Structure 1
Amino acid sequence: MLRDSIKAAQISAMKAGEKQRLATVRLILAKIKDRDIELRTADTQPDDDELIIDVLQKMVKQRRESIQLFEQGGRPEKAAEEKAELEVIETFLPAQLSEEETKAAIEAIKTETGAAGMKDMGKVMAELKARHGTVLDMSKASGWVKAALS
């Protein structure tokens, strides 16, 4: 399970004295704990690995946005910190689909659902997320779906 591998990474970072990695892993565990608390009152509980992957993907998105803003703002040292965190977070995510694989999946879903134009984008995106949400950057996929439907 992903949760176990993150906890194991925390222990190994402590033993190795890797302060930056340890801080990032602790941050990941805190975010997961926050999400667990949020879901205590939820009617349905998602699969544990799906929940963790969702948390990690959100963290990756936040880091990428921060890196871009820090670089635009002339703060390369802060951008470097965010990049270091991003690298640690990405080690726990499953391998992402390539651009070609994603476009092939979009075409397959487009054919199956009979999507013809932009009005069907929501349907295609929902199906794409249901099938490949854990191994796909949905923000990039959104642009490719838009291109495929226009």
Structure 2
Amino acid sequence: MIRDDIKQATVQAMKAGDKQRTAALRLIAAKIKDRDIEQRTSGKDVGDDDLVIEVLQKMAKQRRESIQMYEEGGREELAQQERGELAVIEEFLPQMMDESETRAAIEAVKADLGAESIKDMGRVMAELKARHGAVLDMSRASALVKESLA
């Protein structure tokens, strides 16, 4: 499980004296714990690895946006810190589908659902997320689905 890998990596980073990595791993663990608490109160049941992947994807997206903003604002030292955190986060994310795999998945879903127009985009996106949510970049998939249905 990814959660166990994160715990082991935290212990290794602490033993190695790597303060930045330890801080990033603790941040990840805190976000996962927050999400666990949120899950308990909402009553929804999501698989453990799915929950962790969802948290990691959200954190990675936030880091990418922050890096871009810091670079535009001329704050290279803060952008560098965010890049370090992003690298740690990406270690635990599964390999994302490349563009050709994404296009193939979109075509398969379109065929299964009989989707032909842009009106079907919501159904196609929902099915893509259900089938490939953990390994699919949904923002890139959205653009490809729109292109495919147009």
TM-score, length of structure 2 as denominator length = 0.97
Query: Matches of 1:18 and 1:145 in 2, distance apart?
Result: 42
| Identical positions, percent | 64
Distance in 2, matches of 1:98 and 1:25, equals 27
Distance in 1, matches of 2:17 and 2:54, equals: 28
Counterpart in 2 of 1:99? 99
Deviations 1:99-123 (A, max 9, x none): 1101110111111111111111100
Residue 80 of structure 1 and its aligned partner are, at CA, apart by: 1.1
Provide structure 2 residue ranges, at least 5 long, that are not aligned to the other structure.
none
User: 1:12 maps to what in 2?
Assistant: 12
How many corresponding residue pairs?
150
Q: Corresponding residue for 2:113?
A: 113
In structure 1, runs of 5+ residues without a counterpart are none
SS in 1 for 2:92: coil
Give TM-score scaled by structure 1 length.
Answer: 0.97
Q: Structure 1 runs of 4+ off > 3 angstroms? A: none
Quote the offset at 1:43 in angstroms: 2.4
RMSD: 0.8
Question: Can you list the C-alpha shifts for 1:61-117, whole angstroms capped at 9, x where unaligned?
Answer: 101111111111111111111111101000001111111101110111111111111
| Distance (Å, rounded) in 2 between the aligned partners of 1:78 and 1:147 | 36
